[in-house]
Amino acid sequence: MKLRELAHSRTGDKGNTSNISVIAYDLVNFPLLARQVTAERVKAFFADIVQGEVVRYELPNLGALNFVMYQALGGGVTRTLALDIHGKALSSALMELEIDPNS
């Protein structure tokens, strides 16, 4: 199944760093997300876009993961040549990530 069915997401930007939250609709699914949506997978997913490392933070209280992606915004909102200068559409792209519900 797609990540979109289990979680929702919003992208934020600060300088050349992007963060993407991944929030379980149902807290029951948080352990599954925590197992499957790893920093490594997110880094591989955005291989064409994110030049730096990807760090994951966990907020089990809220059923949320927060991915911080460095060197991800073509120099940042003030000087990037990208059409989406903030990288706002990155969260929608990540919703395509494949999740194996039986893992």
Partner 1 sequence: MKKIRLGSGAGYSGDRIEPAVELAEKGNIQYLCFECLAERTIAIAQQAKMKDPDAGYDPLLVARMEAVLTLCHQKGIKIITNMGAANPLAGAKKIKEIAQKLNIKGLKIAAVTGDDVLVAIRSQELIIEETGADLSTIKDKLVSANAYLGAGPIVEALKGGADIVITGRVADPALFIAPLLHEFGWSPDDWNLMGQATVVGHLLECAGQITGGYFADPGFKDVPGVGHLGFPIAEVGADGSVVITKVDDAGGMVTLSTCKEQLLYEIHNPATYYTPDVIANFTGVSMTEIAKDQILVTGGTGAARTGLLKVSLGYVDSYIGEGQISYAGPGAVNRGYLALDIIKERLELTGVKTQEIRYDLMGVNSLHGEKLSNGHEPYEVRVRVAGRTETMPEAIRIGNEVETLYTNGPAGGGGAWKSAREVVAMVSVLIPASLVHPIVHYEVI
Q: Which is nearer to partner 1, 15 or 101 (CB)?
A: 15
Which residue among 31, 35, 53, 57 contacts partner 1 (CB under 8 A)? 57
**SS3 call for 7:** strand
Looking at the DSSP assignment, which residues form a beta bridge with residue 18? 13, 69
Q: Which of 28, 53, 89, 101 binds partner 1 (CB under 8 A)?
A: 89
Cα torsion 67, 54, 71, 78 to 10°: value is 0
Q: How many other C-beta atoms lie within 10 A of the C-beta of residue 44?
A: 11
Residue 31 lies near partner 1 (rule: CB under 8 A): no
Q: Does residue 43 interact with partner 1 by CB under 8 A?
A: no
Q: Smallest gap, in angstroms, from Cβ of residue 98 to partner 1?
A: 13
Q: Does 1 help bind partner 1 (rule: CB under 8 A)?
A: no
Helix (H, G, I), strand (E, B) or coil at 84: coil
Q: Does the footprint of partner 1 cover residue 32 (CB under 8 A)?
A: no
